[in-house]
Amino acid sequence: MKLAIFGASGRMGQAIVRLSQAEPDIQIVGAIASPSDPHLGRDVGELSGIGTLGVEISSDLNAGLLGADVVIDFSIASAIHPLLVACEKHGVALVSGTTGLDEVAQARLLQLSKKVAVVWAPNMSRGVQVLAEVVAHAVRRLGLDFDVEIVEVHHRRKVDSPSGTAVRLADAAREVRGELVQVRGRDGLVGPRKPDEMGIFGVRGGDVIGDHTVHLIGESERLELTHRATNRDLFARGALSAARYASGQGPGRYTIADVLGS
Ligand SMILES: NC(=O)c1ccc[n+]([C@@H]2O[C@H](COP(=O)([O-])OP(=O)(O)OC[C@H]3O[C@@H](n4cnc5c(N)ncnc54)[C@H](OP(=O)(O)O)[C@@H]3O)[C@@H](O)[C@H]2O)c1
């Protein structure tokens, strides 16, 4: 599988380059970064600490995708539109883990999926997929007497809030209780909690890779369902599995559940 990486010099981009070296069927053919990236021109393998790969980090999207079967994107929401155009132009499947995408970007992903395979997942880990399934089950079993609130904790450099994973978990709750309305934090004289509220809170600090807790709070008892990521290699491995999956698929919009075969 010939792989390009968009956001190649970032934390996730480097993790993917590093881990892909243990996968003999994967060849990195393109490494794309922003036009102002200080690492432009450097070898992506050297930047990632695995030695020379012969692939320079470049901001030239078209050159970076040339010859690729799949591109893995971990960048920022504002950078994704030109990537989608280039994927369509070159017929390259897309695996994106970038969070904070708005409705326009989601609609464009759907449009692209009519031409190539597209996997977008706000969390590439098996554990979070299972957590979402457990949340849906718990919300169904506990019923209307339990309030649902979500707290996520991430490192101080994260730029979007709430996390895409928190929104994914909120969606899992809403699949069962469609009346739930997201409340993004509370401040001031907000009054008593309404039954259809679902608070989502983002905590930021230090180097936390990503913790998510779904609180299910009833009278005299409560459940706290938590996932903690302790190493971002977890997400990089998931993205590589998704890339392998996407390279074998025709056009379509696929989820991490499809990749994991659940
Ligand atoms: N789905 C998951 O499992 C998962 C897991 C972890 C993270 N994420 C998400 O993945 C994204 C990246 O996370 P990260 O921790 O790797 O962040 P990061 O270290 O900040 O990396 C993002 C990279 O994107 C680059 N970029 C910005 N504009 C670009 C452009 N126009 N073209 C190409 N590259 C561009 C940035 O380059 P400059 O610094 O030069 O701007 C940076 O190197 C975030 O949205 C995060 O929430 C998802």
Mean pLDDT for each consecutive 10-residue tract of the chain (262 residues)? 98 97 95 97 97 97 96 96 97 96 96 98 94 98 97 96 96 97 95 97 98 98 98 95 96 94 71
Instruction: Name which residue sits closest to atom 25 of ligand 1, judged by CA.
Output: 7
Structure tokens at 261: 């075969």
The confidence score (pLDDT) of residue 261 equals 85
What is the CB < 6 Å shell around ligand 1? Answer: 6-7, 9-12, 32-34, 36-37, 74-76, 79, 97-100, 121-124, 232, 235
Nearest to 122 by CA among 141, 105, 137: 105
Answer yes or no: 39 catalytic.
Answer: no
- Report the C-alpha gap between 26 and 218 in whole angstroms: 49
Whole-number Å distance, alpha carbon 194 to ligand 1 midpoint, is 36
Which parts of the chain are beta strand (E)?
2-6, 27-32, 57-58, 70-73, 93-96, 117-120, 147-154, 181-184, 197-204, 210-217, 222-229, 252-254
Whole-number Å distance, alpha carbon 79 to ligand 1 midpoint, is 9
The confidence score (pLDDT) of residue 180 equals 98
pTM of the predicted model, to two decimals?
A: 0.92
The confidence score (pLDDT) of residue 142 equals 98
Pocket test for ligand 1, best of 36, 58, 76, 241 (most atoms within 8 A of CB): 76
Answer yes or no: 155 catalytic.
Answer: no
Q: List C-alpha distances in Å: 80 to 6, 106, 230.
A: 9, 10, 27
- Report the C-alpha gap between 155 and 211 in whole angstroms: 10
Under a CB-based contact definition with an 8 Å cutoff, are residues 207 and 157 in contact? no
- Report the C-alpha gap between 23 and 19 in whole angstroms: 7
